[in-house]
Amino acid sequence: MLYMTVKEAAAKWGLGTRVVTLYCEEKKIQGALKRGNLWLIPEYAERPTDKRRREQLPSRPSLSDDLARLITSMGDAIVFHDTEVVSDSADDERIQIEYEAETSYLRGDFQKAVDCFEKTRGDDAARLCICLTAIAATISLGDYRMYTEIEDYLKKCINANKGSGAAAMAELALATAAVSVIAPTMAPDWLKDGDFGVLVPEAWPQALYLRAKYFVCLRRYDAGLAVAETALTLTAQPRGFTTMDIYQRLTCATACHCLGRDDEARRWLLEAMRLALPHGFVTPFAELITALGGLVEQCLQREFPAYYGPVLEQWKHTWKNWIEFHNQFTSDNITVILTPREYHLALLVAQHVPYDKIAKQYCISVGRLKNIMSEIYQKLQISSREELTKYII
């Protein structure tokens, strides 16, 4: 029979040598023999179970399990009705904070939404849930410093929980920024592919919304419309509505408008307004004034004239913040937003190298180079070489 020393057993079981010696003395290791001052432990011996330690340290659910339970509870609880309350099942303080963050954001109180993020310090499951709203709020505030703080937290969470539901939820929160500032290349691969298996089903509505927005960012409007319509069918509430019910309808409106189907866009927009505006939820419409080319103003004047002023006023404040945030985000992430080849071409163009010289260097035609630069301008949401210079140089 082969034996181990106390030191070898301690290394194998991840224990201290004193603990292993104590187990031997208390006869907790089957087959252990003492020869002089030396204990010999059979190689097949198993690490003893310390019942006292097990009782002192009860097992805790993993972050992914706690997150799944919380998301499921939120899916049951945060549904808006004619009388706006959190459902009776929402006795969890964490759900109340999430509800407060969502309603604050929808009503344009972005700082309050960010403050709710701060309330979750030390509770990773609650913090991961609230990050999606908090990131959107920092963009509307133009608070890039706060965004980077949240971003750092999410990246650490991804590294510490790779391949888990917690990591996927953190990636989903970061994708909120990517599609909001029109940087779809930064979305996670599983979102691009539509593979939501790592998420609990209650998180799918948010994932479907971001996937639809991802397609709209790529100008694949038919695909974005199909995803948003499918999501509305799959997540229909028997009574009431959720935040995603508003935003999926607005994604349908945006896609239809970009496809030249303004009658359908108007129908989707009015549906969203009838859900949201009676609750004072003005933010979703302020966000889309520029994208919908006058449709928001027309619909407000037609059916909700009392909200015409508040929506436009919020747009005036947040549009400037969005531009500032977009510019800083793009500057910091330009080597991720652009491919290496696109970045090198953009750098040469920003340095005022002639197009014919660049085209010759890369063995492409001048026409092809102009098309590539047009795609780069679209990705960066700019229209000139002067604007490009601000990001590249």
pLDDT score for 45: 83
In this prediction the pTM is 0.76
CA angle in degrees (0–180, nearest 5) for 177-181-184:
75
pLDDT score for 358: 92
Report the 3 state secondary structure along the chain. CCEECHHHHHHHHCCCHHHHHHHHHCCCCCCCEEECCEEEEECCCCCCCCHHHHHHCCCCCCHHHHHHHHHHHHHHHCCECCCCCCCCCCCCHHHHHHHHHHHHHHCCCHHHHHHHHHHCCCCHHHHHHHHHHHHHHHHHHCCHHHHHHHHHHHHHHHHHCCCCHHHHHHHHHHHHHHHHCCCHHHCCHHHHHCCCCCCCHHHHHHHHHHHHHHHHHCCCHHHHHHHHHHHHHHCCCCCCECHHHHHHHHHHHHHHHHCCCHHHHHHHHHHHHHHHHHHCCCHHHHCCCCCCCCHHHHHHHHHCHHHHHHHHHHHHHHHHHHHHHHHHHHHHHHHHHCCHHHHHHHHHHHCCCCHHHHHHHCCCCHHHHHHHHHHHHHHHCCCCHHHHHHHHC
Give the span between the Cα atoms of 164 and 67, in whole angstroms.
11
Per-residue pLDDT of the chain (393 residues; tens, 9 = 90+): 578 888 888 878 878 787 888 888 888 888 888 887 788 888 878 888 765 454 444 455 688 888 888 888 887 667 776 545 454 444 578 899 999 999 999 999 999 999 999 999 889 999 999 999 999 999 999 999 999 999 999 999 999 998 899 999 999 999 999 888 888 888 999 999 999 988 888 889 999 999 999 999 999 999 999 999 999 998 887 788 999 999 999 999 999 999 999 999 999 999 999 999 999 999 999 999 999 989 999 999 999 999 999 999 999 989 999 988 988 898 888 888 888 898 899 999 999 999 999 999 999 999 999 999 998 888 887 888 888 888 876
pLDDT score for 259: 96
pLDDT score for 88: 46
pLDDT score for 215: 95
